[in-house]
Structure 1
Amino acid sequence: MTRAQLKEYLDAKVEQYNVPDFIPHDPIQIPHLFTEKKDIEIAGFLVATISWGNRKSIINNSNKLMELMDHAPADFIINHEPEDLDRFDGFVHRTFNNEDCKTFLRSLKNIEQRYGGLENAFAKAYKETGHLQKAISSFKKMFFEIEHLPRTQKHVSDPLKNSSAKRINMFLRWMVRNDNAGVDFGIWKQIPMSALSLPLDVHTGNIARKLKMLKRKQNDGKAVAELDNYLRKLDPNDPVKYDFALFGVGVFNDL
């Protein structure tokens, strides 16, 4: 298939899969429970953080997190007292345990107080670095300014250490990308859609290789850069829309 034919094929798949019917089957359904910007971004960040493993388990544990925050994530983060974190003692999702969870909640409060929220923190890092993957690395430093256990750092990926940073890239897609279809939120205005990187996972990586868009065998930071370069040639303004195409084709064996 020529690049023009591939673009036509993938554009059609974006139209097929970037639709509201996608929401009930994806962790993005959790931030879609909210209408206020702060609630959406805080819920989205926490949900993206635990978005690995069994999809049903991700959604169940995400709902549990929202319940523990009284279904008011922004209010809880901004106003919680140290003793309010005791209720998370039993929470665990795979290797993300209750201590990791409490650190994330305390850090999100610090991000609100010190930077004015997640969007401002990411935008500051993006403006300073001029590159969103470098900005993720800078954001990680901001996020762990508070006292924390070393083990908790593994739950925020660092692209400068060659991580694909799949979950943070997915979160950024949710917040930044305005898809006019009501799936991604597009509520962040300080970072352009053109700067986003694809949330590379097993499905999207395998399909990208089958379509000869990606040569690198590992799903790592270098693979993300290679795929970014290809996708930006297909659509420089909205390269990560193709996440829907590659994911849909992979999950539904639609190739």
Structure 2
Amino acid sequence: MNKTELKEFLDSKVKQYNHPDFIETDPIQIPHLFNKKEDIEISGFLTATIAWGNRKSIINNANRMMQLLEHSPYDFVKNHQEKDLEALLPFVHRTFNGTDFITFIKALQHICNNHQGLESVFVDGLKDGSLQNSIHHFKKVFFEIEHLPRTQKHVSDPLKNSAAKRLNMMLRWFVRNDNTGVDFGIWKNISPSQLSCPLDVHSGNVARKLGLLKRKQNDAKALQELDNSLRKLDSEDPVKYDFALFGLGVFEGF
């Protein structure tokens, strides 16, 4: 396929998968339970944090998280008492446990109270237009509170060569306004052109088969290579192709 054919093919797949039906099978359904910006942000961040492994298990456990937060994630984060956190202790999703969950709630409260919320932290870290620097800055702010070293592994750092798949996925959710009702477009101070593709096994394998990516590991360097390829196809909204790569990999076994 030449570049024009590749773009036409991928654009058709974006149209197919960037559709409200996509929500039913995807973890993005969790933040879609809410209407208030702060509820969407907190539920989306927590869902993205545990978005690895079996998708059904991710969705079930993210729903369990919302249940434990009394279906009012922002109110719980802002106003919880120490005794309210005990109910979170039994929670577990793979290596993310109740202690991690409690630390995350306290860190989110710290960000809401002292840093004007999640969007503000990401915008503050946006140097050279790079959201990967922004994610690095977010991690530093997030762990300003007291925490166990083990909990740090649940927030990726692109400056340590991580592709930061889950946080890049969350940023896509919040920044892109796709006019189809899948991504939210609630963060107005970051441009969709600055987003990076959530790079995982599926999107990476499809990208390699299509010649968009040569690097074998799914790391920060591979992400930069994939971003460069996708920006040549659409400089204003490169991450719309996440729908195409993911859909081809997961639903079509491309």
Whether TM-score is above 0.5 comes out as yes
Residues of 1 paired with 2:159 and 2:214: CA distance?
Answer: 20
Residues of 2 paired with 1:153 and 1:92: CA distance?
Answer: 16
CA contact (8 A) 2:172 2:239 kept: yes
Please report how far the alpha carbon of residue 5 of structure 1 lies from its aligned counterpart in structure 2 after TM superposition: 0.8
Output the TM-score relative to the length of structure 2.
0.98
Is the aligned partner of 1:177 residue 2:176?
Answer: yes
Residues of 2 paired with 1:80 and 1:2: CA distance?
Answer: 56
Residues of 1 paired with 2:129 and 2:144: CA distance?
Answer: 22
Q: What letter matches 1:56 in structure 2?
A: K
Which residue of structure 2 lines up, in the alignment, with residue 116 of structure 1? Answer: 116
Deviations 1:160-200 (A, max 9, x none): 01101000000000000110010000000011100000000
CA contact (8 A) 1:204 1:246 kept: yes
CA contact (8 A) 1:129 1:135 kept: no
CA contact (8 A) 2:129 2:194 kept: no
Count of matched residue pairs? 254
Which residue of structure 2 lines up, in the alignment, with residue 230 of structure 1? Answer: 229
Which residue of structure 2 lines up, in the alignment, with residue 150 of structure 1? Answer: 149
CA contact (8 A) 1:207 1:249 kept: yes
Secondary structure at the aligned position of 1:241 is classed as helix
Output the TM-score relative to the length of structure 1.
0.98
Structure 1: runs of 5+ lacking an equivalent: none
Which residue of structure 1 lines up, in the alignment, with residue 75 of structure 2? Answer: 75
Which residue of structure 2 lines up, in the alignment, with residue 199 of structure 1? Answer: 198
Q: What letter matches 1:69 in structure 2?
A: L
Please report how far the alpha carbon of residue 251 of structure 1 lies from its aligned counterpart in structure 2 after TM superposition: 1.2
Which residue of structure 2 lines up, in the alignment, with residue 55 of structure 1? Answer: 55
Which residue of structure 2 lines up, in the alignment, with residue 11 of structure 1? Answer: 11
CA contact (8 A) 1:164 1:219 kept: yes
Please report how far the alpha carbon of residue 129 of structure 1 lies from its aligned counterpart in structure 2 after TM superposition: 4.9
Residues of 2 paired with 1:227 and 1:23: CA distance?
Answer: 25
Residues of 2 paired with 1:190 and 1:222: CA distance?
Answer: 26
Residues of 2 paired with 1:185 and 1:238: CA distance?
Answer: 14
Residues of 2 paired with 1:188 and 1:83: CA distance?
Answer: 33
> Alpha carbon RMSD of aligned pairs, Å?
0.8
Residues of 2 paired with 1:254 and 1:216: CA distance?
Answer: 21
Residues of 2 paired with 1:196 and 1:50: CA distance?
Answer: 20
Residues of 2 paired with 1:3 and 1:77: CA distance?
Answer: 47
Deviations 1:110-141 (A, max 9, x none): 00001111011111111x45311011001100
Please report how far the alpha carbon of residue 252 of structure 1 lies from its aligned counterpart in structure 2 after TM superposition: 2.0
